[in-house]
Structure 1
Amino acid sequence: MTIFDATIDRSTLMYRLGLLTRRWRQILDAQFQSAGLTDATWRPLLHLDFLGDGCRQKDLAAAVGIEGPSLVRLLDTLVAKGFVERSEDAADRRAKLLRLTPEGREVVTRIRATVTTLEDDLLSPFSDDDIARVAEVIGRLESTVGDARRRGKR
């Protein structure tokens, strides 16, 4: 028996959620690769869209889950492709504000359409009640993970 065959319980839940997330990203990466986008390019665009125009680079780095210097390199690529614009924050000249260009918005629209199609397909066997129950558990789990992270930073 492998971990993949095991019943999901407290001893395997977090591992299985991590594995599920990695597999989901692999599916997305395969879809976006055919459109010329990599994980390094589509994820920051999607997160920037969620955060909205005028978000700071440090906030985007936190949302994507990467360090600031790594994000700067990715942003250089996205700026060069014409998807993102950077500007100086008038309140803090050291900070950079980001916004999607019209071309970047078009890419995000295509990304969202692809994600929606894949989600609809993958979630089709589940009822709205199933999804609501899982979403509630995930929300509570996100909260407890956030609490644990804050306790670890003290």
Structure 2
Amino acid sequence: MNLYQSLGHLVLGSRLRRLSEAFLSEINKAYQTAGIDFDASWFPVFYLLSKNDALSIKELSEQIEVSHPAASQLITNLKKKGLVGTDTCSDDGRRQLVTLTEKGRDLLKQIMPVWEAISQSMAELVETDETIKQLLPAISALENAFRQTKLADNIVQKLNTNLKPAGQ
């Protein structure tokens, strides 16, 4: 058992980050091998824009569950690459609507077969082990638990309870 496995919940975030980084690295290698200039971190935006003609930055940030500044930074980077464009919303001048450019739509056509291959490959991998089959349901359950529980408050409460001198 390695250090990370032995420390259990104390390093949950570190283990999830390591797993995420390893997964995204493999996905990026697949794009590179296929000769496609695409970064896996762009996936949520491309996926949502493949299903919607246009979305505001606020809508994107809400759907991909990142802060508005983080979504805005991602959109800015994709604009610099010429993959998305923004236009002011006709009924609300404060809203910027994001759309795929022609270059972005061309890239989308290239990456969609990769997405299908990723889905197939992961489905095959998941079938190799009963425990792996529980991963996505377990992650969903943990995400829901975090939405319903203020973990930091619970930790502080336990600290305050455990730090009180005896007799109080």
Return the letter of the residue paired with 2:89.
D
- CA displacement at 1:125 relative to structure 2: 0.5
Q: Are the counterparts in 1 of residues 88 and 94 from structure 2 also a CA contact under 8 Å? A: yes
Return the letter of the residue paired with 1:90.
S
Q: Are the counterparts in 1 of residues 88 and 95 from structure 2 also a CA contact under 8 Å? A: yes
Aligned to 1:122: 125
Cα separation, partners in 2 of 1:16 and 1:110, compared to 1, 3 Å: same
Q: Are the counterparts in 1 of residues 53 and 99 from structure 2 also a CA contact under 8 Å? A: yes
Aligned to 1:70: 73
Aligned identity (percent) is 15
User: Displaced runs of 4+ in structure 1, greater than 6 A?
Assistant: none
- Using the alignment, how far apart are the partners of 2:114 and 2:48 within structure 1? 11
The number of equivalent residue pairs is 145
- CA displacement at 1:98 relative to structure 2: 2.3
- TM-score using structure 1 length: 0.68
Cα separation, partners in 2 of 1:107 and 1:58, compared to 1, 3 Å: farther
Cα separation, partners in 2 of 1:3 and 1:49, compared to 1, 3 Å: farther
Cα separation, partners in 2 of 1:41 and 1:21, compared to 1, 3 Å: closer
Other structure's SS at 2:9 match: coil
- Listed as ranges, the gaps of 5+ residues in structure 1 are none
- CA displacement at 1:60 relative to structure 2: 2.4
- Using the alignment, how far apart are the partners of 1:144 and 1:110 within structure 2? 34
- CA displacement at 1:96 relative to structure 2: 1.5
- Using the alignment, how far apart are the partners of 2:75 and 2:9 within structure 1? 38
Cα separation, partners in 2 of 1:61 and 1:33, compared to 1, 3 Å: farther
Does 1 or 2 have the higher relative contact order (CA < 8 Å, sep 6+)? 1
- CA displacement at 1:104 relative to structure 2: 4.7
- CA displacement at 1:146 relative to structure 2: 3.0
- CA displacement at 1:8 relative to structure 2: 7.2
Q: Are the counterparts in 2 of residues 41 and 74 from structure 1 also a CA contact under 8 Å? A: no
Q: Are the counterparts in 2 of residues 44 and 60 from structure 1 also a CA contact under 8 Å? A: yes
- Using the alignment, how far apart are the partners of 1:59 and 1:44 within structure 2? 11
Other structure's SS at 1:60 match: helix
- Using the alignment, how far apart are the partners of 2:117 and 2:7 within structure 1? 29
CA RMSD, 1 decimal: 3.4
- Listed as ranges, the gaps of 5+ residues in structure 2 are 154-168
- TM-score using structure 2 length: 0.63
Q: Does 1:17 align with 2:20?
A: no
- CA displacement at 1:148 relative to structure 2: 5.3
